[in-house]
Amino acid sequence: MAIRTQIVVCGGTGCMSSHSKEIKEQFDKVLKDLDLDKEIAVFQSGCFGLCEKGPVVVVFPDETFYGHMTVNDVEPLCKEHLLKGRIYDKKVYREATLEEKAKVRKFREMNFYARQERIALRNCGIINPNEINEYIGHDGYLALGKVLTEMQPKEVIEVIKASGLRGRGGAGFPTGLKWSFAEKNPGPKFMICNADEGDPGAFMDRAVLEGDPHSVIEAMTIAGYAIGANQGYVYVRAEYPLAVERLEIAIKQAYGYGLLGKNILNSGFDFDLEVRLGAGAFVCGEETALMASIEGERGMPRNKPPFPANQGLWKRPTVINNVETLANIPVIILKGAEWFTSIGTEKSKGTKVFALGGKINNTGLVEIPMGTTLREVIFDIGGGIPKGKSFKAVQTGGPSGGCLTTKHLDTPIDYDNLIAAGSMMGSGGMIVMDEDNCMVDVARFFLDFTVDESCGKCTPCREGTKRMLEILDLICDGKGTMEDLSELETLANTIKDSALCGLGQTAPNPVLSTLANFRDEYIAHVVDKQCPAGVCKSLIKYYITDKCIGCGMCARNCPAGAITGKIKEKHVVDTKVCIKCGACKASCKFGAIITK
Amino acid sequence: MKSLEDLKKIRNEYAAKLAMREHHNDYHIIVGMGTCGIAAGARKIVNKFAEELANKNLYNVSLTISGCMGECDLEPMVEIINAQGEKVICVKVTEDDVTKIVEETIIGGKPVTCLTKENL
């Protein structure tokens, strides 16, 4: 009997942690019980991107998108949708607005997907990552075949150069140029994939490795051929167990098919690939630190030059590319540089994957053409800010980036525009903040991260960031002065100019950008001793207003016993006893508790 | 695997399997699977379509099922929509009709000739 329907259960880390594996097993069982197992196939894919709605199940060819699935939904879904042709209404995805709600949309026509252009994520959610044949079925390894049989290494580099592809890991260095530097040097050479993704909130590299590991393997082999390297390493953090597992399965399958190893496709070209696990230090995403870590040394950066293309791993010429950069390569080879340059802006070609997080309705991964505005990403694709709150800022580029405000919302996103606006592309984390976020606290959060992750090799980063954090702590505690503010700025600029590696040089960015865009909030903390967003505990007090009807809910929820009052009368907070946990505010149904 | 040809062979074989997950516009076939449809044998019809399409390597067709189409005594009913959006609803469809529809219309590109409500 032929398969008439295919069910894809999302197997990304997000959905897996909410039991998508059990859901898949339940599908297997229910389909067997209903005698549908010969007509309907089920498999697990990589990440679909709309993690907010996880666990996600999509039914093909109907393209029906089901979100928030549970094991108990599987049986009714099968009976309704697969047996009787009715949409299982309880879990089907509908748009948020009333007029759009009426009709169930096909998943590629949903607001979240319709505006995206998926190149790096082209196979994520569509193919089974543990099945090399499905990757090949989607034109996988054809680019490698084309390169090995029809092209000279220099021609490959020319195509990548002409495509204008720039590194997706953060700095945006032209990939083709990087390859050409290494190509000129004598061998042996090495090809490394940087999968040490460390920015808080960014997970696109993990999604590619989990959903489409073969695209990285294929791209690395192509790169190896282009630069003349016969050995490749994928440096991935051990904190990504699922990505490591799928990558290792994929490498094994590629060896089995002769797409890795000796004499690939009878071309005479050899390429070996190994996985190297990192322990999850943020600094090991810096290329020189990463190479030190592969060599078995302590993961610390060194001075550049010499650049890795001249003297890299074991002092040999080395190219290091980020996962997302590599995922673009096979498509560029197949479709040509001209096609790729038709997407994006003048200086930034192609697409970029962003991880949307924070105060946004559609948390997840989106891939958009360069030049899309922040407003489109946050409001049209991301679905805007939850609970009708107002947008305050968006942090791009993780701990190395900066905060952008409403005045930047219509900026087309590309490498240069983001830098001009005082932030950076980084690896593509995008954390949205609403009126309830205190910008001083946000800056403190990111600085706290870099202080933790500083390797300690150079003084500006090791000592400087720590001193900056101390000043921010003082400001949040209401003990800051205006002199502290100017010292904070001086320190930030000094560290920016003098730190050894990218981590230190960019660590002050969150502070500098919030100082530039939200100086009034800093001044409110220092001069008025107030936190306008009501976040910094030392600066806020809880009050009960006249809206209180005396239900007693807050008093029952207060862990410190700080709230007193008679039933049906207005209650009072004893600010001396109050520990400012916010439990009362969260429990009040009448909005009677405020902070000031 | 020794050559690009071997690779392309696997590619063609699996591209067929993956085609179901792509967006199709050529033909959309909908089989009514309300209780009435199932009782009249619609499940056999769906599977016959799936089998015919797979055997003849036709991947430009999206085959889905729907609930009751409303004319319960004329089941099994099949709606066929072409790329231009023109619809024909066939009634009292048999497995032989399925073969005929696939061969004449999907492959041959001719209009659907089947029992409809009008020519019954």
One DSSP character per residue, A71-90 reads HHHHHHHIIIIIIH----TT
Which segment of A322-331, A408-417, B22-31 scores lowest on mean pLDDT?
B22-31
Contact yes or no for B8 and A142 at CB 8 A: yes
From the list A1, A61, A108, the residue facing B51 with the nearest CB is A1
Residues of A in contact with B67 (CB under 8 A): 84-86
Provide mean pLDDT across the span A100-108.
87
**pLDDT for the residue numbered B75:** 87
- Is residue A458 predicted with pLDDT exceeding 80? yes
Query: Which residue of chain A is at minimal alpha-carbon distance from B11?
Result: A137
To the nearest whole Å, the CA of A48 is away from the closest chain B CA by: 13
**pLDDT for the residue numbered A145:** 95
- Is residue A399 predicted with pLDDT exceeding 90? no
To the nearest whole Å, the CA of A108 is away from the closest chain B CA by: 8
A141 reaches B (C-beta below 8 A) = yes
Rounded to 5 degrees, what are φ and ψ at A171? Answer: -80, -25
User: Which residues of chain B have a Cβ shorter than 8 Å from any chain A Cβ?
Assistant: 1-4, 7-8, 10-11, 13-18, 20-21, 23-24, 31-35, 38, 46-47, 49-51, 53-55, 62-67
Per-residue confidence at B16, pLDDT binned at 50, 70, 90? confident
Which segment of A449-463, A495-509, A512-526, A533-547 scores lowest on mean pLDDT?
A533-547
- Is residue A369 predicted with pLDDT exceeding 90? yes
Q: Among residues of chain B, what percentage have pLDDT more than 90? A: 48
Contact yes or no for A85 and B3 at CB 8 A: no
Average pLDDT value for chain A: 94
* Number of neighbours of residue A295 by Cβ within 10 angstroms: 13
Rounded to 5 degrees, what are φ and ψ at A424? Answer: -160, 165
Q: For residues A108 and A63, is the Cβ–Cβ distance under 8 A?
A: yes
Contact yes or no for B23 and A83 at CB 8 A: no
Q: For residues B76 and B43, is the Cβ–Cβ distance under 8 A?
A: no
- Is residue A496 predicted with pLDDT exceeding 90? yes
**pLDDT for the residue numbered B3:** 87
Rounded to 5 degrees, what are φ and ψ at A51? Answer: -65, -25
One DSSP character per residue, A281-297 reads -GGGGSHHHHHHHHTTS
Average pLDDT value for chain B: 89
Per-residue confidence at B26, pLDDT binned at 50, 70, 90? confident
State the Cα–Cα distance between residues B24 and B58, nearest whole angstrom: 11
R_g over Cα of chain A: 26
Residue A297: partners with Cβ closer than 8 Å, 6 or more residues away: none
Residues of A in contact with B46 (CB under 8 A): 4, 39
From the list B16, B20, B49, the residue facing A6 with the nearest CB is B20
Contact yes or no for B13 and A83 at CB 8 A: no
A114 reaches B (C-beta below 8 A) = no
Which segment of A9-13, A116-120, A193-197, A589-593 scores lowest on mean pLDDT?
A589-593
**pLDDT for the residue numbered A2:** 86
> 3-state SS of B26-87?
CEEEEEECCHHHHHCCHHHHHHHHHHHHHHCCCCCEEEEEECCCCCHHHCCCEEEEECCCCE
pLDDT tens for residues A195-234?
999 888 899 999 999 999 999 999 999 999 999 999 999 9
To the nearest whole Å, the CA of B113 is away from the closest chain A CA by: 24
Indicate which of A10, A38, A136 best probes the interface with B, i.e. most B CBs within 10 Å of its own CB: A136
To the nearest whole Å, the CA of A249 is away from the closest chain B CA by: 18
Query: Which residue of chain A is at minimal alpha-carbon distance from B22?
Result: A61
- Is residue A57 predicted with pLDDT exceeding 80? yes
Per-residue confidence at A183, pLDDT binned at 50, 70, 90? very high
Rounded to 5 degrees, what are φ and ψ at A577? Answer: -90, -30
- Is residue A146 predicted with pLDDT exceeding 80? yes
* Number of neighbours of residue A526 by Cβ within 10 angstroms: 20
Distance of CA A116 to the CA centre of its chain: 16
A62 reaches B (C-beta below 8 A) = yes
- Is residue B120 predicted with pLDDT exceeding 80? no
Provide mean pLDDT across the span A237-253.
96
Per-residue confidence at A302, pLDDT binned at 50, 70, 90? very high
Q: How far are the Cα atoms of A217, A259, A318, A333, A573 from residue A251, in angstroms, in the given order?
A: 7, 9, 21, 21, 62
**pLDDT for the residue numbered A466:** 96
From the list B2, B14, B47, the residue facing A136 with the nearest CB is B14
pLDDT tens for residues B56-70?
888 888 899 999 888
Contact yes or no for A266 and B2 at CB 8 A: yes
Which residues, in sequence order, are bridge partners of residue A373?
Answer: A412
State the Cα–Cα distance between residues A126 and A46, nearest whole angstrom: 8
- Is residue A1 predicted with pLDDT exceeding 80? no
Per-residue confidence at A525, pLDDT binned at 50, 70, 90? very high
ipTM rounded to 2 decimals: 0.92
Which has the closest alpha carbon to A583: A575, A568, A593? A593
Provide mean pLDDT across the span B3-30.
87
Provide mean pLDDT across the span A102-115.
90
Alpha helices, H only, A38-83: 71-77
From the list A106, A127, A257, the residue facing B18 with the nearest CB is A127
Residue A97: partners with Cβ closer than 8 Å, 6 or more residues away: none
Residues of B in contact with A259 (CB under 8 A): 1
From the list B15, B46, B51, the residue facing A137 with the nearest CB is B15
pLDDT tens for residues A402-456?
999 999 999 999 999 998 988 888 888 999 999 989 999 999 999 999 999 999 9
Which residues, in sequence order, are bridge partners of residue B98?
Answer: none
pLDDT tens for residues A355-365?
999 999 999 99
**pLDDT for the residue numbered A115:** 92
